[in-house]
Amino acid sequence: MSTLAGQVALVTGASKGIGAATARALAAAGAHVILVARSARELEAVEESIFAAGGSATIAPVDLAEPEGIARLAVAIGSRWDALDILVINAAVLPVLTPVWQIDQHDLTRALTLNVVATQALIAGFDRLLKKSPDARVIGVTSSVGASPRAYWGAYGATKAAFDNLLDAYAQEVRSISNVRVAIVDPGATRTAMRAKAYPGEDPASLKGPEVVADRITALVSERFDSPHRERVDPVN
């Protein structure tokens, strides 16, 4: 399978879960995948699995909570590749689930930094390279609580609402002046570490695996869609 042959993709939060699965799926489809996360050791494990499957990848250990790190990453990638074809913004942090009046401000600030500020920094850093691609795709991995507020999820939901707003606005700004198209994907209930943290009593076997979401994202980047595009990945029957 080489539907993405010759394309360069960048995936954040690529060390585990949906990010790692998406990186593997994009590489299997022929893309060269830049793996971004904080842990070099975990990224190396994903990179090795991609190599073992015959794919191509490069690790880029970066703390996305540091905007200067994102800027340096963009410069480094721009010096090696002429364009970025696929940007998957997946990295996120889940604040403690608590009533709004009990939200810890340090916890909220950390979530806002990674889930929102880093998103804007990624767009700012890679906009030029995305616009150089003949058919660029930006995929944002969101949550239903961004659009539908839920008790005790106020902190995370607020960050995802802002995340969605940034991506939607960017899509509108570039759709008439470039080939950049933006999709916001809600993975739904998926077997990830974040899900286990939020629902500790849930049976993981009852959830779809991250590979299901990864396969849908990989298919989506090759499709034609109106930008901004939104969809939810349904459970597997």
In a domain, 151, yes or no: yes
Catalytic residue flag (residue 156): yes
* 152, 156, 170, 199: the active-site residue: 156
**pTM (2 d.p.):** 0.97
Reference 17, options 222, 227, 204; nearest CA is: 204
Reference 181, options 132, 127, 231, 138; nearest CA is: 138
Rounded Cα distance between 233 and 33, Å, is: 22
In a domain, 138, yes or no: yes
Tell me if 53 sits within 8 A of 27, measured CB to CB.
yes
User: Quick one: tokens of 112?
Assistant: 């806002």
For helices 67-80 and 118-131, the axis angle rounded to 10 degrees is 20
Rounded Cα distance between 142 and 118, Å, is: 14
In a domain, 29, yes or no: yes
pLDDT digits (tens, 9 = 90+) for 108-129: 999 999 999 999 999 999 999 9
Rounded Cα distance between 133 and 231, Å, is: 24
In a domain, 132, yes or no: yes
In a domain, 1, yes or no: no
User: 150: helix, coil or strand?
Assistant: coil
The number of folded domains in the chain is 1
In a domain, 3, yes or no: no
Helix %, strand %, coil % of the chain (to 5) = 50, 15, 35
In a domain, 157, yes or no: yes
CATH assignment at residue 53: 3.40.50.720
Rounded Cα distance between 83 and 42, Å, is: 26
In a domain, 111, yes or no: yes
- Residue 184 domain boundaries: 8-232
Rounded Cα distance between 215 and 126, Å, is: 24
pLDDT tens digit at each of 237 positions of the chain: 579 999 999 999 999 999 999 999 999 999 999 999 999 999 999 999 999 999 999 999 999 998 799 999 999 999 999 999 999 999 999 999 999 999 999 999 999 999 999 999 999 999 999 999 999 999 999 999 999 999 999 999 999 999 999 999 999 999 999 999 999 999 999 999 999 999 999 999 999 999 999 999 999 999 999 999 999 998 765
